[in-house]
Structure 1
Amino acid sequence: MTERGGETDRRWEGDLLDLDAYLARIGHTGDRSPTLETLRALHRAHVLAVPFENLEIVLGRPVPIDLPALQDKLVRRARGGYCFEHARLFAAALERLGFGVTGLSSRVGMGSDRVRPATHAVLRVETAETPDTGRVWICDIGFGAGPLEPIEFADGAGTGDSGRSFRLERHVRALGETLAAEEWTLRERRAGGHGEGDGDGWLDLHTFTPNPQYVVDWTVGNHYVSTHPRSPFVRRPIAQRTGPDAHHALYGTTWVTTARADGSRRVRELEPHEVPKVLEDAFGIVLDAEDGAALVTALERLPADPAPED
């Protein structure tokens, strides 16, 4: 291993991961070889097992993304996290298993044409087949409502399941007379063509470039999303959980359940005291009594009309 400040800074500390505990957490009991089949199984298992949530911010605590902290929170305590936490942990697991892993940063758009900061983390992954096929993959396990399986890193490539479809599109954006940037956008189309954005019913979720990102880069982005007053994550509790039949989302006290088969939605407004129980039952997020009470207090103090999110 090279000295700190060299190649070590560009890796994901897979050697520090309790791999057996992580695989048990996501329920993966299959093959561990670094093949595309294994990658698909791991991606699906992680998305279905580990929820998306920002509750530590709402409870007034920092969100570290070092591997020991992530193992304690997401693995041992079976909590969830947001993109930097998910991607950092998944990268360590893939590296430990022998996959080639590169971090990327993306700008979440959700149909907006505004330029937003690059505060979403995704992974570019090479498998054992890559040297022969040239095929590499994008893993987006921390979006909250993203794809269940990896998407090939190729223009027009896609994946879909239970009424939801995703695809990648490549664009070259001119930055001047002699300079251009390669950008990739992940787009989504749900059952029945429901969606916002352009006329074909596809919604632009987020856009990234192929520039490698390292732990230190994600640490900067993580600090912004967990502390900046304009970050949506500091304003209200957010949780998401993807299940085999439905996707659950909680925004403050609004609980939205979306059927995966047809995209139909059920919206319920909760009282603050109901939220901890819903988090446990629908999202698999179990808070102790003290944190549950603190969350209820935070919800009771939320403004009626939150400021627009960046």
Structure 2
Amino acid sequence: MTWNGEELDIEAYLARIGYEGEAKPDLETLRALHRGHVASIPFENLEIMLGRPVLLDLAALQDKMVHRRRGGYCYEQNLLFAAALERIGFSVKGLGARVRAGASTTRAVTHMLLDVEADGEQWHCDVGFGADGLLEPIPLRAGVDVSQGEWRFGIGSEEEGVRVLRTQNADGWFDLYAYTTTRCLPVDYVVMNHYTSTHPKSPFIRRPVLQQAAPGVRCRLIGAQLTRTRPDGSRDERDVPVSELRHTLVREFGIELGDDEFAELIRVHYAGA
């Protein structure tokens, strides 16, 4: 099995994301699993901030995101999701993307997403893109235009089979990432993960990044700045003082760090704030 789904404690995973009932390899189940995962497991890079390696083996992913109820970034989240889908009986293919999100230059392929078959169609699934990410799967074909909650997503097409996931904001369509349907294997994500977790130009090695997508609001904590963005383009921004940081991690993202972990996070990234 490509994603080691047989090693997953599926009952614990389903409980973690609040899924109840029978899990079958159909579109209804896929949508419910995707929604539940995005709502329950936040995007976060705190392992890097704490000076620890980001581990991608399934045992580590289960321990961190299921049993310790932490979050993760794209490889962690989508590898766990792929294992769960495989265990339930879905056909799952890994893909790679170039993140755009306002970039002025072409970036390397460093994002993971999934191509999942359900009810005779291929679906673009991605539980690991953070606040701007999909809430549910969307058909994996160019020209798609769907609403999820109050957010709107589309897939555009470019030369050489490139597809572009977009979301609509107050200024119009905004490119999130570009990808092709070329298969990626788990070992490919090990290489991407090494770059993302260690390279000096990676956006995830400099400061804490936590994000959560929801039907009515996109929440981000970047460094010490907390931002909540709504579909009409309105947003609230404020700096989170160190005295409120631990409560903010719990309230906004459901993340509870141990005393030693939190003290280390403050020492390394918020000292003198």
* Fold match by TM threshold 0.5: yes
Partner residue, 2:237: 267
Counterpart among 120, 138, 144 of residue 124 in structure 2 = 138
For residues 263 and 32 of structure 1, the distance between their equivalents in structure 2, rounded to whole angstroms, comes to 36
Aligned twin of 1:286: 256
Deviations 1:171-230 (A, max 9, x none): 22xxxxxxxx2111000103xxx13xxxxx100100011110011000100111001111
Deviations 1:5-48 (A, max 9, x none): xxx5xx00000000000000000003311111111111111000
Aligned partners of 1:274 and 1:158: how far apart in 2? 40
1:1-310 to structure 2, matched below 5 A, reads: 11-127=2-118, 129-130=119-120, 135-145=121-131, 146-172=133-159, 181-190=160-169, 194-195=170-171, 201-260=172-231, 262-300=232-270
Amino acid of the structure 2 residue aligned with 1:14:
G
Once the two structures are aligned, what percentage of the paired residues are identical? 47
Q: Distance in 1 between matches of 2:106 and 2:271?
A: 31
User: Partner of 1:176 in structure 2?
Assistant: none
1:175 corresponds in structure 2 to none
Partner Cα distance (1:138, 1:182) in 2: 15
Number of corresponding residues: 272
Q: Is the CA contact (8 Å cut-off) linking 2:196 and 2:204 kept in structure 1?
A: yes
Deviation of 1:293 (Å) = 1.1
- Greater C-alpha Rg: 1
Per mean C-alpha deviation after superposition, the further-off stretch among 83-92 and 245-254 is 245-254
SS of 1:225 mapped into structure 2:
helix
Aligned-pair distance for 1:169?
1.3
Which sections of structure 2, spanning at least 5 residues, go unmatched?
none
Q: How far is 1:273 from its partner?
A: 3.6
**Whole-Å separation in 2 of the counterparts to 1:287 and 1:227:** 22
> Counterparts of 2:215 and 2:98 in 1: how far apart (Å)?
28
- Normalised TM-score (structure 1): 0.84
CA distance in structure 1 between the partners assigned to 2:51 and 2:214 by the alignment = 29
Is residue 150–residue 215 contact of structure 2 (8 Å, CA) maintained in 1?
Answer: no
Q: Which amino acid aligns with 1:136?
A: Q
Does the CA contact (< 8 Å) of 1:272 and 1:299 recur in 2?
no
Report the Cα offset of residue 301 of structure 1: 5.0
Hey, what does 1:3 align to over in structure 2? none
The aligned amino acid for 1:148 is L
Task: Give the CA RMSD over aligned residues.
Answer: 1.5
Q: Does structure 1 retain, via aligned residues, the 8 Å contact 2:56–2:190?
A: yes
Q: Deviations over 1:208-258 (max 9, x none)?
A: 111100110001001110011110100000001224543220000000012
Query: Structure 1 runs of 4+ off > 3 angstroms?
Result: none
Bigger drift between 113-122 and 16-25 goes to 113-122
Q: Give the Cα–Cα distance (whole angstroms) in 2 for the partners of residues 236 and 273 of structure 1.
A: 18
Contact 1:273–1:296 (CA<8 Å) still a contact in 2?
no
